[in-house]
Structure 1
């Protein structure tokens, strides 16, 4: 009986080993080819839906005051086409415009400022949703299995992170601000700065922040003072060994790749008027190699303008010293800690 068992093991052992090797080497590759295909489709759809960069505007179409002095054609005694394109009328008949400038600015700030603007990706353009919470810090933040989620404020997105409300209610994403700014040049000139200097701009997508910088005039974009960024980093960012195991080319598609991550922080570092940044970062299992974490944090070290820079992460690790930001890790759970306790953001 014992001899037959040994003979059976000798015969079946190589077969079992071959089966295990086959399953380990070939099946995951097949499964990952499917995942890669889905990632590629998602990337291509996002590229197709990307907003167009801001075109170069002629000087005569400037919306801000003061406008160039109108050019009079002495022969025809009428305004030339160039001056008509930039024609501006004084609003002396308006009671609103007869108010002192200080009172008007208080009105503009109340209408277009002092809020958190959740910036969202839409089809070929950006949109915004006013946060329903009193401040960005009080806006509830959670994880829905794919990425950070603030569905009470953000609404829903599809698999490509394109805004896709499913409630059936057409919630406005671009209202209450643009109509006022478009009403007249004087209001635009007096109010537009409050839009960028007094609001917190909140992003849950790296591409959304990049598009935001590309679709604004540079001097308007530089006025932003408060930024809130949430991002779920893809595995295995900054982990070359793990990326080789994926057998993908490329291993990570934008915006989950290292290049997009570094470009995002290069843009943020160029914002000279920033005073506050809060970055909430989620990584599914943390960085097993401290070197990989250091590479991930390296682009953040170039952001030196803000007086308050918080980086909240979802994984444990060592304390970071000499950085321009405060790295906030999850609190270590003691014996008396509740299982429902989550990391603080």
Structure 2
């Protein structure tokens, strides 16, 4: 167990690494890690957590009128220098969910230009270069990232940029926590580029805080097309890119009752071209079919009640590949974006009413028969 403990502390997700003695870990241990039975952020939680509000209020601060307390909480947890929401990059570091407060707040516009996604979705976290997940550093030229580790976030300077200042107020007492937590989550725009990191983050929140999340940006790099029968259980990416994880992630997003602003950015990596014998450019790279009926889109359709939605696709292309890929991406992505905006903006109440109407029609049909 001594060697096992050392290995877990060093890199719990490197399930294909070997012993220092040259022996590979047993399949049973690797299966436990892939199924997230061990070495998982969710396992670091300490349930059950009592989310019920306290009955007594002993702090002198809590004797102030509720209106004044709300002004204090808003001053602490919101950025008064800008009307935009503060962007919080969620990261996973050694099995724990942490965050980095972005110095450049972004906002998804209510009226984005057609076929021109907002800059917030095309940054790919370049605003905070220590926060992107390792598999999104596809060219290997970003200093500080390690290709030997399978952690999502491995930049060597990431621990120096983590944020834990403003939220310290929530740890004063339970009364302040239950009064101020909704302000923090409602005033922040969460940015995530690892699906499981967001799932573990939401799992750790109280039901009140979970319902207060109103803005979310998902910047994701597919290793293979989800829901297309391309799952590779033997891959080193099986614990971060799988159909089961893709469906589970969107189930969690759909469960956020207060979510109103959603942005989805797909990073397709690099496209290269080679001129064939006929003189035409042959383009190679990660392609995703864009259509409302595609399998990877169907889990997203569970989301309801949005006021703003945007979809962006980023890729790196040479000159020949850009001429081939850019036109079809602009056309297909623009069409899918408009279709999703119409479907995801349906109010949650209307969805329940439709179910009730179907049920009444069935009862009337049986009665008429």
TM-score normalized by the length of structure 2:
0.58
Partner SS, residue 104 of structure 1? helix
Native 8 Å contact 1:229 1:279 kept in 2: yes
Native 8 Å contact 2:34 2:238 kept in 1: no
Structure 1 CA distance, aligned partners of 2:198 and 2:33? 18
Residue by residue over 1:159-212, the C-alpha shift from the partner in whole angstroms, topping out at 9 and shown as x without a partner, is 424444424x85252411332111133322321111111111110100111111
Measure how far apart 1:98 and its partner are.
Answer: 5.6
Residue by residue over 1:21-59, the C-alpha shift from the partner in whole angstroms, topping out at 9 and shown as x without a partner, is xxxxxxxxxxxxxxx957x98x94894542135444465
Measure how far apart 1:131 and its partner are.
Answer: 0.9
Measure how far apart 1:309 and its partner are.
Answer: 1.5
Choose which of 115, 118, 131 in structure 2 pairs with 1:154. 131
Structure 1 CA distance, aligned partners of 2:219 and 2:76? 26
Native 8 Å contact 1:117 1:201 kept in 2: yes
Q: Which residue does the alignment assign to 2:173?
A: 184
- Asked if 1:306 corresponds to 2:306, the answer is yes
Choose which of 237, 248, 255 in structure 2 pairs with 1:263. 248
Q: Which residue does the alignment assign to 1:215?
A: 204
Max Rg structure: 1
Q: Which residue does the alignment assign to 2:220?
A: 231
Measure how far apart 1:139 and its partner are.
Answer: 5.6
Structure 1 CA distance, aligned partners of 2:288 and 2:179? 52
Q: Which residue does the alignment assign to 1:199?
A: 188
Native 8 Å contact 1:226 1:277 kept in 2: yes
Native 8 Å contact 1:119 1:202 kept in 2: yes
Which one is further off, 286-295 or 50-59? 286-295
Structure 1 CA distance, aligned partners of 2:264 and 2:226? 17
- Asked if 1:103 corresponds to 2:68, the answer is yes
Measure how far apart 1:325 and its partner are.
Answer: 2.6
Q: How does 1:135-150 map to 2 (within 5 A)?
A: 135=106, 142=123, 149-150=126-127
Compute the RMSD of aligned alpha carbons. Answer: 3.8
- Asked if 1:90 corresponds to 2:80, the answer is no
Native 8 Å contact 1:129 1:153 kept in 2: no
Which one is further off, 130-139 or 215-224? 130-139
1:164/1:289 CA distance change after superposition, 3 Å: closer
1:154/1:136 CA distance change after superposition, 3 Å: farther
1:183/1:214 CA distance change after superposition, 3 Å: same
Structure 1 CA distance, aligned partners of 2:174 and 2:93? 28
Structure 2 CA distance, aligned partners of 1:293 and 1:202? 27
Q: Which residue does the alignment assign to 1:125?
A: 96
Native 8 Å contact 2:121 2:312 kept in 1: no
Which one is further off, 314-323 or 304-313? 314-323
Q: How does 1:23-42 map to 2 (within 5 A)?
A: 37=16
Structure 1 CA distance, aligned partners of 2:87 and 2:289? 36
Structure 2 CA distance, aligned partners of 1:142 and 1:322? 21
Measure how far apart 1:125 and its partner are.
Answer: 1.4
Q: Which residue does the alignment assign to 2:81?
A: none
Structure 1 CA distance, aligned partners of 2:69 and 2:145? 37
Would you say how many aligned residue pairs link Structure 1 and Structure 2? Answer: 255
Partner SS, residue 194 of structure 1? helix
Q: How does 1:300-339 map to 2 (within 5 A)?
A: 300-314=300-314, 316=329, 317-318=331-332, 319-320=335-336, 323-325=339-341
